[in-house]
Amino acid sequence: MHRTQVSLEDKQYRNLQRYAKLKNRSISAVIRELLDAHIPVAAQPKGAENPLLALKGVVSGKGKTTGRNHNDFLYTHEKRWNED
């Protein structure tokens, strides 16, 4: 974890204090949560963790392509799953 010093307007600091107290969180925790919620993933450095990438490879199959026609694969009759 990195230690950072930030200058805030008096009003901003008071609002941050109140919000942290209301949420029963530290000011640091509130700032981290706000940053995570408001900085888009695209702005994160390349290689940053993407939770969807954790799913890569969790399912095995018989080599059929499902990416291009994923709707057909996902939303066809249940029988289709048992044809392989």
Instruction: Give the confidence band of 29 by pLDDT, cuts at 50, 70, 90.
Output: very high
Q: Is residue 56 part of a domain?
A: no
Q: How many domains does the chain have?
A: 1
* Average pLDDT of the residues in 12-38: 93
**50 is a domain residue:** no
Count CB-CB contacts under 10 A for residue 24: 7
Rounded to whole angstroms, how far apart are CA atoms 77 and 8? 57
Residue 78 lies in a domain: no
Is 73 inside a domain boundary? Answer: no
Residue for token pair 């009759």: 77
Q: Which residues contact 16 (CB under 8 A, 6 or more apart)?
A: 8, 27, 30, 31
Domain membership of residue 39 as a residue range: 8-44
**11, amino acid identity:** K
Please tell me which residue, 7 or 69, carries the higher pLDDT value. 7
| 40 assigned to some structural domain | yes
